[in-house]
Amino acid sequence: MRGFNVLLQKEFKEAWRSWKFLWIPLVFALLGMSDPLTNYYMMDILNAVGNVPEGFEMLMPELMPVDLLQASIGQFQTIGLLVMMATFVGVISKERASGMATLLYVRPISFGAYFMSKFIVMSTVSFVSILAGFAASVYYTSILYGTLEIGSLLVSLCTYYIWLLFVIAVTLMMSASFKTIIATTCAFTVIFVGQIVDMIVGLFWTISPWKLANYGTLLVRGTMEMSDYWWSLTITIALTILCICIGIIMMKRNAAMAKI
């Protein structure tokens, strides 16, 4: 892992100076607070917008705090992932295409160190983001709907974070393997098509990384089948490690693609 510390510092500086530590958590915080607020003030919003016919009545379901958390996670799963993947998918391929990586590749650094420095910084940005998202969601939920049990909430947060690590590993692996456009297509296909497949056959396909986001909420509800949970967690961690290894190999193999 030669050069790891130097590369890690460089990656942190880049993330800090490009405001990634601010705006991505902000996006997640906004997503996190949107569901508790919009659901609670739905009637007021409709009345304020107008055009509601006279005598109109709407029966709102009585939402439990965990329903709001699930809704927030749903937001993270779509817009949140989209933002995160779009931000990270070019980190290796763009550096290679622009020639910025050339001045690093000709030095005696290890490709493992370079890949891992990027993975760790992205994981940190993701952790701060998901923390901001969960905090915003839980804060408004507890004010407007009632409190959530902190222990299960933390387990839910960690579970979702492990899923995010898998997403980051897939995104980085694609970036190391292909040019940016192809990497984007492949990464989005793997993650979002996986989600669609999970929606269609999820009742039967109970062990997969795509299940983790949902299992996090089930843990809070206390209705989780634990063997499915542990198997999904194990497989996700194993696949994350596999993606990291493939990413490092592809990064080394594609070093010759760096623009001179």
Residue in 58, 59, 203, 260 binding another protein, rule: CB under 8 A: 260
Nearer to another protein, 3 or 194 (CB): 3
Which of 9-17, 24-32, 75-83, 196-204 is the region at the interface with another protein (rule: CB under 8 A)?
9-17
φ, ψ of residue 132 to 5 degrees: the values are -65, -40
Instruction: Find the binder of another protein among 13, 41, 45, 52 (CB under 8 A).
Output: 13
- Asked whether position 108 contacts another protein by CB under 8 A, the answer is yes
* Contact with another protein (CB under 8 A) among 48, 59, 103, 226: 103
1, 22, 38, 99: residue in contact with another protein (rule CB under 8 A): 99
The per-residue b/e assignment along 222-253, b for 16 or more CB within 10 angstroms, e otherwise, is eebeeeebeebbebbeeebeebbebbbbbbbe
Torsion of CA 135, 140, 145, 150, to 10 degrees: 20
What is d(CA 170, CA 191) in angstroms, rounded to the nearest whole number? Answer: 8
Of 8-16, 38-46, 128-136, 186-194: span binding another protein (CB under 8 A): 8-16
The 8-class DSSP code of residue 139 comes to: H
Q: Which residues bind another protein (CB under 8 A)?
A: 3, 6-7, 9-10, 13-14, 17-18, 98-100, 102-109, 255-256, 258-260
